Amino acid sequence: MILKQPWVQAGRCAAASPRKQDFVAVGVTRAASEVSKNVTVNSRTEKPAPALFDPAAVRRIRADTAALESFYLAFYDDVVRYLTRRVGDPHDVADLVADTFVAAIDAAPSYDPRRGQVLPWLIGIAHNKLHRWYRQRGSDRDLARRVVGRRWLDADDIGQLEERIDAAALAPRPCR
């Protein structure tokens, strides 16, 4: 069976924590059963109209695996669609989707249905994860830019620095 998003497979998420990888693996196996329900029309895959997700069930996704499964299946495509339009690398999309659902599980007890619907709340979490990822990626690029072209310290340089540090520690300090 071919998955809709073949890059979302366990073990393919770079630098993912075990919790995140486990979550992606569980989601993929459950999403695979949902893919088989899709209808093919003119070589395009159309998903049947999604069933409404009970907003009160969001608070239960942390403890109830059935509620988590229905939550994941109901909103997975929306989160992936949001993130794929903003990120070019499928591995990064998979990591961000997993981060989004893990954050949603952590934030589920604080969800208030009076403040809005579930999908905008979840897309807001995805948006925040995406911007945190952009900031992190930018700081990684800045660090790489500062390091490129610089000479690394060798053993002699480190020895000279250690001698200077030791000499400075033994030198008398001026009185103020």
Rg over alpha carbons for the chain, rounded to the nearest Å, is: 24
Q: What is the mean pLDDT of residues 112-137?
A: 94
Examine residue 75 and state whether it is found in any structural domain, yes or no: yes
Structure tokens at 84: 């794929």
Interhelix angle 90-107/18-35, nearest 10 degrees: 100
Domain containing 123 equals 18-149
- 40, pLDDT greater than 90: no
Angstrom distance (rounded) from CA 15 to CA 5: 19
- The angle at the Cα of 41, spanning 39 to 44, to the nearest 5 degrees, equals 90
CB 38 within 8 Å of CB 5: no
pTM of model > 0.85? no
Examine residue 129 and state whether it is found in any structural domain, yes or no: yes
Split into its structural domains, the chain has a count of 1
pLDDT level of residue 80 (50, 70, 90 thresholds):
very high
Examine residue 159 and state whether it is found in any structural domain, yes or no: no
Q: Could you tell me the CATH number of the domain that includes residue 44?
A: 1.10.1740.10
The pLDDT of residue 54 is 85
- 129, pLDDT greater than 60: yes
Examine residue 176 and state whether it is found in any structural domain, yes or no: no
The pLDDT of residue 23 is 52
- 151, pLDDT greater than 80: no
Angstrom distance (rounded) from CA 43 to CA 172: 82
Examine residue 12 and state whether it is found in any structural domain, yes or no: no
CB 99 within 8 Å of CB 56: no
Examine residue 71 and state whether it is found in any structural domain, yes or no: yes
Examine residue 104 and state whether it is found in any structural domain, yes or no: yes
Examine residue 5 and state whether it is found in any structural domain, yes or no: no
Tokens 């072209």 sit at which residue?
149
